Amino acid sequence: MCFAFEVSLARSISSSCAFSDHREAYSCHTSVAANESNRRKCARARTRTWDRLVNSEALYQLSYSGPHQSSLGESHMAFVSYSTTPPRQAIHSDEGGITKSRESYFGFYDGAWYPECMEEPSETAQDGQDNHMYSWRVAGVEAALSEQGLSEERLTVQDLTELGHLDQYHYYGTDACDEAISVLGLDESRQLLDIGSGIGGPARYVAAETGCQVHGIEIRPELVAAARDLTERVGVADRVRFTNSSINDISLQANQYDNMIAWLVLLHLTDRPAALTKCQSALRPGGTAFIEAFVTDDSSTRNLRRLQDVVEAPEPVSETELRGEFREAGFVDIATCDLTEAWTRWTAVRFEQFQTRRHQFVDLHGREIYDHRVEFYRTVRDLFADGAVRGVRLTARAPGPNPLPLSSRQQTTLSDRDPAAILEPADSD
């Protein structure tokens, strides 16, 4: 359990009150029943209940006290909510944790949600969220190809890259791929591991441009199915393959790949250190890694909520922390390149363009998915505009002799590119 606490009623609540209309403050004392490692492990749990909590549930204010005060600080804020009408007059646990009984409790402590203090989202709810974030994109590609009379025909890589961000989910599309090719020095001799390969756009483009072999790993089965179909139609299936799995679950042979790449994927992982350790082991000695990611130095509750609840980044980190995670995973020669200026422009233009295609998007995907995407794009735009997050490219090597090259790794020309010329108007993540 996450908390051992007593709650005393600050003032009574009428049982006839509508629960959503009342937010009652309680005075509580809590002791943390886990060490720092367990607290961080709990913090990786995702939640999508924040808006529901602050809009329709009771809020409790807790002050921190307990044996880990020196490591966690003098004072921490936490919120605990339970969904029941009418609320009980008091809650008490003699066993060092929240007594759930018929209620559903949600615990938010020091900027992080704790899984033992909340119920897991149902499979149906999870599927709905994933559809908002991912599944609709397959329909978007199919519709775009149909509009061009390419529903069943053979395709070229260019046919797909011209779909813009529907094919290339990451920022700056093939321009960013070209930089990765140059930095990593990819050619036909290389084996490339692509983490979070999506619908396969970057993998197909890189393989076609360089002749390298690409293994894409993607957790969403509908994206893998679409990626395999499109790759067959393009004619590069002999060089590009996809596995439906998460990086945390898949078994990778040691020393199998020359290079690893991940576009805006690491922020979504629930156990990033373990994933990085696995990737480092899968690289041959001297192999190289290229990732692009969000980082943040803003640990405010508001910023963490936006990242965790909307962007689905369960444990945001600073650039220094990200470098530390790579170092702990065994990587060496770690360097970063700041992409914030380019990504700030990209996210602003993306939000503007997406709104101009509202009617077309709603006709194809529905109002619910449109509203979700608008909120997502607005939030990411605001995060960059507020300076709450930055964009970085991190490159690193697996230790070993004869290291592969990393060229111009701390330089980028993406800021010179026009996002409006790259983005597909009804684009994706």
Per domain, the residue ranges of the chain are 3-117, 126-422
One-letter-per-residue 3-state SS of 342-377 = HHHHHHHHHHHHHHHCHHHHHHHHCHHHHHHHHHHH
Amino acid letter, residue 251: S
Confirm if 335 and 409 have CB atoms less than 8 A apart.
yes
Q: Which two tokens stand for residue 294?
A: 């969000």
User: How many Å separate Cα 382 from the centre of its chain?
Assistant: 17
Reduce the DSSP state of residue 106 to 3 states and report it: strand
Write out the CATH class of domain 126-422. alpha beta
pLDDT in tens, the chain (429 residues): 333 332 222 222 222 222 222 222 222 222 332 333 333 333 333 233 333 333 333 333 333 233 333 233 333 333 333 333 333 333 333 333 333 322 333 333 333 333 333 333 333 333 444 555 677 889 999 999 999 999 888 999 999 999 988 999 999 999 999 999 999 999 999 999 999 999 999 999 999 999 999 999 999 999 999 999 999 999 999 999 999 999 999 999 999 999 999 999 999 998 999 999 999 999 999 999 999 999 999 999 999 999 999 999 999 999 999 999 999 999 999 999 999 999 999 999 999 999 999 999 999 999 999 999 999 999 999 999 999 999 999 999 999 999 999 999 999 999 999 999 888 544 443
Give buried/exposed letters for 402-414 (b at 16+ CB in 10 A, else e). Answer: eebebeebeebeb
pTM for this model (two decimals): 0.72
